[in-house]
Structure 1
Amino acid sequence: MPQATFQVDQEIYREKISTAIIRHNYPFMFVEHEGIRDLHSFLNPTVKPITRNTAKSDVLKLYKRERDKLKHVIESIPSRICLTSDLWSSIATDGYLALTAHYVDENWILQKKILSFHHMPPPHSGPILVEKRHLSLTDTLFCGGEFFHVRCGAHILNLIVQAGLKVIDEAVNKIRESVKYVRVSEGRKIKFAECIAQLSLSCSKKVCQDVPTRWNYTYLMIDGALMYRRAFDQLQLIDVHFKTCPSDDEWVKVENIAKFLKPFYDITTLFSGFHYPTANLYFHGVWKIQMLIKEEIRNSCDAISSMAKQMKEKFDKYWECYSVVLSFAIILDPRYKLQFVEFCFKKLYPATYVDRVKFIRDKLYMLFEEYMCLSSISTSNQSSVACASGGDNIGDEMDEFDIYESQHYGLTRNKSQLDLFLEEQKFDRKQDLDILTYWKANKLRYLELALMARDILSIPITTVASESAFSIGSQILNKYRSSIVPKNAEALLCTRDWLYEKGNIKFSNEDEEDEELAEDFESIITTLKNSSNDSHSSFS
């Protein structure tokens, strides 16, 4: 046994244990496992083993310390904070509410932090999440709370597409059954892989099985199956038990469906991206969806037309009136501004686009005026002091200067920051622009407008960041730890988010679920080729 050359700092050791439990989702009792204790003692005999109760206490202590740090950070940020909330039920059917903060930090980087993960007794109804009366009474919301509530873009997209998929269930069902057939056993996988190899088909896509509640998996299933269409046809010729292969007409129908769904998939990916999307992506994405639905209603294919009609009903219910505050974000993008909103509405509503644009513009100016009022209140005391110490004659001279400037240089000085920004020449639309970097660079030119842009651009398009908490929650509150008390679950989940997630919103269990649903036939074909080569080598 190696001899220890130093005395272990027990406090540091215990903190390392706590961070390991939080980061890797170890059970508290692992500190009492004989193998773990033996390993630590081997590395340094001065280590003092701890109990599971001590481990719990240390995790809670680390949670409280990091929570205090986060409070300090939030108190110091110059922008407003957007909150998203969502409900989730654990494997034991206990309800939890995740509250997530979204903000732009002092470096103008978009951030998200889970603030709490509280146990929530029933009822678990939607109205609970949108209750805002207590906030309105304290007058803490801009414009009386008019822009307080924003719907989740990804959730609405899911509702829209699911409505369309109900129409074409029969067309997709054969694909679904065919995918299930080739994935059900090792023998069938090998037989299908042999078909792919014989036809020399590309294996750049996996054969995916869909999930009823996640329409994007249905799209991936169809898209993957289309690549292996000839292999499915070949399998039907050599396997008498394979009876669900689509006909030629059905393949064409499914191909049209895939083309129709592709833009929806792309926009869902954009809205729910791994890299945190800013709010300026919203308006253009929703407009593209509306234009697509409008065009496909007239499609000569009855299936596509029926899908589009069903989708339009859902679209009109949730998005016919675009989110006003998220529409501001595209106007504050120097590549688009108000002209883009006008262009989009004119394409959709030729008869009423002027009124729609005016409505958005008026609301934008109303919000900007609130920022100007807040700014004038915060600087009024300083101005009063300056005037009191300067004397009357200086004020008279400055008033005279104002008149001179107005007469000789026009009314530019009377224009607001928002006026000047909207009148400036737009940037090249094809330019790859980080919009937060733009506003960071122009914060001195447009003091109040930059503050407003900062707040608007931090509004999340979706609640995916909040829902990501449930990915961690499902690991913490799994079937082996379903009875963990809520305060410990919150400590584990929140501290992991603060220390290790760093704004990312995709977690390992999602990757594992993807692997379970997708079959990589390229690896099977490679194994078959290697086995064949080995056999020839042995024979020779």
Structure 2
Amino acid sequence: MLSHLDPTDELSEHIQEQCSYASHEPANTDVLIQDSSKRSRQLTSLIWNEFDILYVELDGSQRAQCKWCKRDYAYGRTTGTSNLWRHLSNCTRRGQSDFEERSPIDQGIYREKMGIAIVKHNHPYRLVEQEGIRNLCVYLNSDALPISRNTIKVDIEKMYKREKERVKTELNSISSRICLTTDLWTSIATDRYLALTAHFVHEDWILQKRVLNFHHMPPPHGGPILAEKVIGLLRDWAIEKKVFTIALENASYNDGMVNLLKQHLRLRNTLFCEGEFFHVRCNAHVLNLIVQDGVKVISKPVSKIRDCVKYIRASESRKLKFAECIVQVSLPCNKRAHQDVPTRWNSTFVMLDSALEYKLAFHQLHVVDRSFSIFYPTEEEWLRVQKFTILLRPFYDLTTLFFGTNYPTANLYFHGVWKIQKVITEEVNNLDIEVSEMAKQMKLKFEKYWECYSLVLSFAVILDPRFKMDYVVYAFKKLYPFDYEERAKEVRDKFYLLFEEYENTFDGDLLDGSIAGCSGGDLGNDNDDFAEFESQQHANKRNKSQVDSYLDDT
């Protein structure tokens, strides 16, 4: 407790002596010398170099104030100066000449900062009660009052409610529609949680994302139960009338949930085009399903490499032995052998790609470690894995692109699909029978899910002035050479349908400037009448011509 005192300081030594004495003799009365005739007291104790006398209480006790931290304590003939010595041994301000320049601590801000730190770094509430944290806070500012875990819990709940109201106000103030994504997550303890995220473009044209809820979802997880939960969350956030699309994985319960959600929102007449574009399937998940079918063709060599990686990562001694093998074959050590999550093909690709880089090290370990030989793939299996990774690299690059969160990804959809289709088509005709078989399996899955894609994703490439409708026609011609014109016409018609919906919603605000706003002399009411007549006569023609003129321009 006295470790912060300077051991060379004479007063510090005296403090330690007095504290030791005070612990046995609390009434230290020898510091005040007063003769029997009650003359003025002479203060001889060293403690008065650190304290100022304040005033006398009604009960006759006196108080003194610490010159460093300005706290006051009682002393007197009956209590002595033990109180003062005890405080001086613990005073964190002693010796700090600049403390008077410091502004007093705001306990409310201090508690809020502590709450933010707990939330941001995922700490438990009991952090505030840990001795080390409390000592640190007192050292930084001795006025900081201790906080209990119950207090910080209440503070964090208040912060959450305040931030929720702020986000709710933000969502209701934007003029654009909101796109939702939702998914079921499984924790390490196998508990399921429903995540609901809102995506929208802010008034300053910056893409925004807000995680609205991460809600515990006990079983069962059927479509009706999930739909009821999502509807309740939309009501809670007051955004039922602002929803445009919802993006989901390709799970059967999600299809049931979407149908019920669509029916609910249709009854309230809040969906654009009767929900024609409401359901959007997750592109990254579709790619995962397509590739998983290809992975099954070479499941045996993949399984062997997975076992190899598990073997070298199972203990510290095996890691060191594998590191020695890397040095022996003169390979760079700037990467590590990754272990995959079997349900996520992109992690499997990373595992195979890193294993191929360390192929010589694995071979060296195979030579020196007989136990490892059980898992080691044959040369033919290594070759199959190498061919497979070459086939999968475009899929991995596209998935990484789709996983981006700081930029829009809808406009990348058509380009990515075309690249994947091109790779699969080329590999179907590969002379290697195994690679051709993998590509055929992936092509079947690709054609199945291409039919399910939402047309709204094609609108993003149409609204890109570099491509417009021509790119949609081009992509369909490559995918469906026999009926691409009909498919392209369907996309074009739906694009017009959505524009007309916006036109009706904004009540003509999408039109160009009215002729009534032009200057050039005052023609009185006749000019206003003509503007109204012209608006009625040519409204439909002018609205359509905006889209036509955009699409027809080069």
| Fold match by TM threshold 0.5 | yes
1:89–1:223 distance in 2 versus 1, CA, 3 Å:
closer
Partner of 1:445: none
Partner of 1:423: 552
2:446 matches 1:315: yes
Distance of 1:397 and 1:370 partners within structure 2 = 27
2:193 matches 1:193: no
Contact 1:175 1:225 in 2 (8 A): yes
Partner of 2:292: 162
Amino acid at match of 2:489: K
2:131 matches 1:25: no
Q: Give CA deviations for 1:484-518 in whole Å, capped at 9, x if unaligned.
A: xxxxxxxxxxxxxxxxxxxxxxxxxxxxxxxxxxx
Partner of 2:193: 96
Contact 2:92 2:142 in 1 (8 A): no
1:45–1:321 distance in 2 versus 1, CA, 3 Å:
closer
Contact 1:164 1:308 in 2 (8 A): yes
Distance of 1:91 and 1:175 partners within structure 2 = 25
Partner of 2:433: 302
SS at match of 1:207: coil
Distance of 1:26 and 1:210 partners within structure 2 = 28
How far residue 158 of structure 1 moved from its aligned partner, in angstroms, is 1.3
After the TM superposition, which residues 218-257 of structure 1 pair with which residues of structure 2 at under 5 Å, given as runs? 218-243=348-373, 244-257=375-388
Distance of 1:171 and 1:230 partners within structure 2 = 17
* Runs of 5+ unmatched residues, structure 2: 1-90, 94-98, 223-252
How far residue 188 of structure 1 moved from its aligned partner, in angstroms, is 3.4
How far residue 373 of structure 1 moved from its aligned partner, in angstroms, is 1.7
SS at match of 1:144: helix
Contact 1:175 1:246 in 2 (8 A): yes
The structure 2 residue matched to 1:39, chosen from 136, 158, 162, is 136
How far residue 264 of structure 1 moved from its aligned partner, in angstroms, is 0.9
Give the TM-score taking structure 2 as reference length: 0.69
Give the TM-score taking structure 1 as reference length: 0.70
How far residue 421 of structure 1 moved from its aligned partner, in angstroms, is 1.9
Partner of 1:64: 161
SS at match of 2:492: helix
Q: Give CA deviations for 1:267-315 in whole Å, capped at 9, x if unaligned.
A: 1101112534331011221232233223322222222222222223332
Distance of 1:192 and 1:42 partners within structure 2 = 47
The structure 2 residue matched to 1:335, chosen from 439, 452, 466, is 466
How far residue 30 of structure 1 moved from its aligned partner, in angstroms, is 1.8
How far residue 377 of structure 1 moved from its aligned partner, in angstroms, is 5.5
Partner of 1:453: none
How far residue 81 of structure 1 moved from its aligned partner, in angstroms, is 0.9
Partner of 1:261: 392
After the TM superposition, which residues 114-153 of structure 1 pair with which residues of structure 2 at under 5 Å, given as runs? 114-125=211-222, 126-127=253-254, 129-130=257-258, 131-132=260-261, 133-153=263-283
How far residue 248 of structure 1 moved from its aligned partner, in angstroms, is 2.7
1:227–1:331 distance in 2 versus 1, CA, 3 Å:
same
Contact 1:87 1:124 in 2 (8 A): no
1:310–1:64 distance in 2 versus 1, CA, 3 Å:
same
The structure 1 residue matched to 2:406, chosen from 250, 254, 275, is 275
Amino acid at match of 1:31: V
Contact 1:85 1:129 in 2 (8 A): no
Distance of 1:391 and 1:108 partners within structure 2 = 40
Distance of 1:248 and 1:416 partners within structure 2 = 64
Distance of 1:110 and 1:61 partners within structure 2 = 28
Partner of 1:55: 152
Distance of 2:189 and 2:533 partners within structure 1 = 75
Residue-pair matches, total: 417
Q: Give CA deviations for 1:335-390 in whole Å, capped at 9, x if unaligned.
A: 2111111111111211111111111111111111111122226699x99x99xx98
How far residue 27 of structure 1 moved from its aligned partner, in angstroms, is 1.1
Amino acid at match of 2:396: Y
How far residue 398 of structure 1 moved from its aligned partner, in angstroms, is 5.2
1:172–1:140 distance in 2 versus 1, CA, 3 Å:
same
Contact 1:205 1:227 in 2 (8 A): no
Partner of 2:111: 14
Q: Give CA deviations for 1:76-133 in whole Å, capped at 9, x if unaligned.
A: 2221111111223444544432211100111111010011223334321324642321
Contact 1:87 1:97 in 2 (8 A): yes
Between Structure 1 and Structure 2, the one with more strand by share is: 2
* Runs of 5+ unmatched residues, structure 1: 406-410, 426-540
How far residue 238 of structure 1 moved from its aligned partner, in angstroms, is 3.4
Distance of 1:286 and 1:397 partners within structure 2 = 50
1:206–1:65 distance in 2 versus 1, CA, 3 Å:
same
Q: Give CA deviations for 1:27-60 in whole Å, capped at 9, x if unaligned.
A: 1122222332233223323222222111111001
Distance of 2:541 and 2:279 partners within structure 1 = 36
SS at match of 2:408: coil
SS at match of 1:114: strand
Q: Give CA deviations for 1:507-531 in whole Å, capped at 9, x if unaligned.
A: xxxxxxxxxxxxxxxxxxxxxxxxx
Distance of 1:390 and 1:63 partners within structure 2 = 59
How far residue 68 of structure 1 moved from its aligned partner, in angstroms, is 1.5
Distance of 2:464 and 2:534 partners within structure 1 = 35
Contact 1:88 1:97 in 2 (8 A): yes
Partner of 1:344: 475
Distance of 1:424 and 1:379 partners within structure 2 = 19
1:149–1:399 distance in 2 versus 1, CA, 3 Å:
closer
1:413–1:344 distance in 2 versus 1, CA, 3 Å:
same
Partner of 2:74: none
SS at match of 1:150: strand
SS at match of 2:281: coil
Contact 2:181 2:196 in 1 (8 A): yes
Distance of 1:293 and 1:171 partners within structure 2 = 21
Contact 2:280 2:453 in 1 (8 A): no
Amino acid at match of 1:51: S
Q: Give CA deviations for 1:156-214 in whole Å, capped at 9, x if unaligned.
A: 11111112212211122232233233333334333333333233223444211221111
How far residue 396 of structure 1 moved from its aligned partner, in angstroms, is 6.2
The structure 1 residue matched to 2:305, chosen from 175, 184, 207, is 175
Distance of 1:400 and 1:36 partners within structure 2 = 75
Between Structure 1 and Structure 2, the one with more helix by share is: 1
SS at match of 2:214: strand
Distance of 2:140 and 2:325 partners within structure 1 = 54
SS at match of 1:39: helix
Distance of 2:220 and 2:197 partners within structure 1 = 21
Cα RMSD for the two superposed structures: 3.2
After the TM superposition, which residues 324-403 of structure 1 pair with which residues of structure 2 at under 5 Å, given as runs? 324-376=455-507, 393-395=526-528
Amino acid at match of 2:160: Y
Distance of 1:357 and 1:222 partners within structure 2 = 39
Distance of 1:115 and 1:401 partners within structure 2 = 47
Contact 1:180 1:209 in 2 (8 A): yes
Amino acid at match of 2:216: H
1:249–1:8 distance in 2 versus 1, CA, 3 Å:
same
Of residues 51-60 and 171-180 in structure 1, the stretch that sits farther from structure 2 once superposed is 171-180
Distance of 2:184 and 2:460 partners within structure 1 = 27
